[in-house]
Amino acid sequence: MDGFSFCIYNSTENVINTFVQYALSNVTTPYKHLELVEKIFSEDKLLQNKFENIKVIHLNNLVTQVPLPFFNKEKLADYLKYTVKVLENDYITFDELSNSEIANVYIPFVNINNFLLDKFGSFNFKHSSTVLIESLINRYKNIDEELMFVNVSNLNFEIVVLKHHKLKLYNYFSFNTKEDFIYYILFTAEQLAMNPEELQLILMGDIEKDSELYNILFQYIRNIKFYTSNKKYNLEGISPHSHYTLLNQF
């Protein structure tokens, strides 16, 4: 609820030629979030166009992964209730990962979906972690070593750990300081018995080499790389590792 972003993909030229990001502050309720998104749509002329296809990605921490052998679509609330406060009227859905035996169970922003449905008609939507996990497994399917990915989005970040090109862990954290940031990463590494001296860390999202987040990471972890996209887009001022889940949809 701290932002809204969109990109426009030109299928004829096979290139993403537009990316726009809005930062939203002091948003404490879904109703306020919807109000600000509606305002963006009323003022941004790019969003007045008609589009051949719409894809929507929801980024929040209202998500959990369930192995398909244990998954029952009639019990979605049961999977979330141990980590998420689930209300009786919450709409819960799931994505089935295309390259893993995993169901991603989550609560989308229903009011945003309803608004977009009125605006554009039918569209496909997924949780951000579905896109992130699927695309990383596809990209690193021939690498057997254990890898940790950190995808930063404002004051939140996702951690994905792959081993033998399979998902070992996904988690979502919020932080206020760089000390919070490094604590969660080192704690996760400790729980998975990953040695910081040998850990292979790949960074994505809102983090740069000259940032305080990178500097504190480098004090504890030596093997750090930035993700390099193999996608083609014509965008100035956008790092190849940033806005991963949005720009890797196409």
* Contact in structure between 123 and 57 (CB atoms under 8 Å): no
Q: How far apart are CA 55 and CA 63, in angstroms?
A: 19
β-bridge pairing 63-67 and 55-58: unpaired
> Distance between alpha carbon 51 and the CA centroid of its chain, in Å?
23
User: Which pLDDT score is estimated for 11?
Assistant: 87
Span 127-150, pLDDT tens digits: 999 999 999 999 999 888 999 999
**What pTM, to 2 d.p., does this model score?**
0.93
Number of other CB atoms surrounding residue 203 within 10 Å: 23
**Residue ranges of domains in the chain, CATH in brackets:** 3-61+104-247 (3.30.420.260)
The pLDDT score that the predictor gives to residue 13 is: 86
Q: For residue 107, what are its two tokens?
A: 């609560």
Residue segments in the chain with a per-residue pLDDT below the cut of 50: none
Span 50-81, pLDDT tens digits: 999 999 999 999 999 999 999 999 999 999 99
Mutual angle of helices 178-191 and 212-220, in 10-degree steps: 40
